[in-house]
């Protein structure tokens, strides 16, 4: 998982049977139990935190985030 830190990723998460998809999430923090990231596809990027065990799929994103947050 550490290979995804500070990179843009596609993430699919299942929370109590409800899937959530993030196509361009900037991974900001990882612990043994949780992952935190910014969803940069929104006009105002929002930070989310989920349990690692709820992640169904994670891979590097092929989506171009553009010049979001001055990057």
Take residue 22 and report the two structure tokens written for it.
Answer: 């993030």
What does the pLDDT look like over 14-63, one tens digit per residue? 999 999 999 899 999 999 999 999 988 877 878 999 999 999 999 998 77
Q: What is the pLDDT of residue 6?
A: 92
Place 2 in a pLDDT band, splitting at 50, 70 and 90: confident
Among residues 68, 66, 67, the alpha carbon closest in space to that of 46 is found at 68
Q: What is the pLDDT of residue 64?
A: 66
Burial class (CB in 10 A: 0-12, 13-18, 19+), 48: middle
Q: How many CB atoms lie within 10 A of CB 28?
A: 14
- Domain boundaries along the sequence of the chain: 2-64
């Amino acid at each position: 998982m550490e290979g995804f830190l500070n990179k843009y990723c596609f993430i699919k998460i299942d929370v109590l049977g409800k899937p959530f998809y993030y196509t361009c999430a900037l991974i900001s923090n990882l612990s043994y139990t949780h992952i935190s990231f910014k969803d940069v596809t929104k006009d105002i990027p929002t930070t989310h935190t989920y349990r690692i065990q709820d992640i169904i799929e994670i891979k590097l994103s092929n989506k171009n985030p553009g010049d979001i947050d001055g990057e």
